C-alpha cells in the first residue's frame, strides 16, 4: 500500500524557517517524481514545488522561489521542503504528492499544517 | 499562467441524480486535465486524468469529457458518499487548479 506521511508542520513567526519531511513507503520511491502542494481556505489548492526522481530538475512556484528548497533522499525514501523567510501567506496545509507522469498526482499524504503568525 | 474556472461553485442534488460540473481553461490545454475529489478533512483523491481516463479503483459512475478549453465531470447517479469538493487541475504547463465545486447531497 502506497503511503506518504508528512511531518514538521508547526507554528512559526514571520521570517522564520521550517523543514517539512515526507516519508514514503509501499512503492519504489526512487522511480517517481514528487511534489509539494499546499491548500488554504482563501487561495485553494496551489502547487509549490517539483523534484524529479533523480533530484534534478527542480521547479518552484513563483510565490516561493528563492525562499523554499525541495530535496529528496532516495536511500531514505524521503522528501523534504526547507522553508525560509516564511510569510503569513505561507500559512497552509502542505501535502506531499506522488507524480505519475506530467503533473498527474495519484497519491497524496494526509497533510501537515504550517501556521505563520506573530 | 493558465487560469482555471469552475461552475457551479456549489450545487445541491439528490441521491440518484445526474450531476455535471464544468471546468474552463484560459487557453487551450488539449486533454491535459485532471479531476480530484476532496472529502471533508481528507486529502484530494485523483478521479479522472487526461480529461476522460478513469483512475484505478474509482467507481464507473464518474466520467470526464472535453478537450481544448472546456471540460466536464459527470456523476451519473449521485451517491451519499459523493458529498465532497471537486477540483479540476490543468497539467499542460505549470499546474494550476480550479476553485472547486462543493456538492451537497
pLDDT digits (tens, 9 = 90+) for A88-114: 999 999 999 999 988 999 999 999 999
Under an 8 Å CB criterion, which residues of A touch B? Answer: 44-47, 59, 61, 95, 102-106, 108-111
Amino acid B44: pLDDT: 97
| pLDDT tens-digit readout, A44-59 | 999 999 999 999 999 9
Amino acid B102: pLDDT: 96
B47 to chain A: which residues are within 8 Å by CB?
none
A49 to chain B: which residues are within 8 Å by CB?
none
How does residue B101 score in pLDDT terms, banded at 50, 70 and 90?
A: very high
| pLDDT tens-digit readout, A5-20 | 999 999 999 999 999 9
Amino acid A65: pLDDT: 98
Q: Are A5 and A23 in contact (CB under 8 A)?
A: yes
Closest approach of chain A CAs to the CA of B42, in angstroms? 7
Of B42, B91, B97, the CB nearest to A102: B91
Amino acid A114: pLDDT: 98
How far, in Å, CA of A37 to CA of A46, rounded? 6
Residue B24 CB burial class (10 angstroms; 0-12, 13-18, ≥19): middle
Amino acid at each position: 500500500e502506497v503511503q506518504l506521511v508528512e511531518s514538521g508542520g508547526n507554528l512559526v513567526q514571520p521570517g522564520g524557517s521550517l523543514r517539512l519531511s515526507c516519508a514514503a513507503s509501499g512503492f519504489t520511491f526512487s522511480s517517481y517524481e514528487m511534489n509539494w502542494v499546499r491548500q488554504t481556505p482563501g487561495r485553494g489548492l496551489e502547487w509549490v514545488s517539483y523534484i524529479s526522481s533523480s533530484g534534478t530538475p527542480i521547479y518552484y512556484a513563483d510565490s516561493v522561489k528563492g525562499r523554499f528548497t525541495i530535496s529528496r533522499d532516495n536511500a531514505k525514501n524521503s522528501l523534504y521542503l526547507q522553508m525560509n523567510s516564511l510569510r503569513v501567506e505561507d500559512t497552509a496545509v502542505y501535502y506531499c504528492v506522488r507524480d505519475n507522469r506530467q503533473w498527474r498526482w495519484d497519491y497524496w499524504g494526509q497533510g501537515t499544517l504550517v501556521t505563520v503568525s506573530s | 499562467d493558465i487560469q482555471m474556472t469552475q461552475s457551479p461553485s456549489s450545487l445541491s442534488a439528490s441521491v440518484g441524480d445526474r450531476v455535471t460540473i464544468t471546468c474552463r481553461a484560459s487557453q487551450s490545454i488539449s486533454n491535459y486535465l485532471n479531476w480530484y475529489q476532496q472529502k471533508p478533512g481528507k486529502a484530494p483523491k485523483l478521479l479522472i486524468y487526461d480529461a476522460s481516463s478513469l483512475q484505478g479503483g474509482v467507481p464507473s459512475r464518474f466520467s470526464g469529457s472535453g478537450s481544448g478549453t472546456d471540460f466536464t465531470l459527470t456523476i451519473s447517479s449521485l451517491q451519499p458518499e459523493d458529498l465532497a469538493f471537486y477540483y479540476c487541475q490543468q497539467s499542460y504547463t505549470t499546474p494550476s487548479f480550479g476553485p472547486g465545486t462543493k456538492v451537497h447531497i
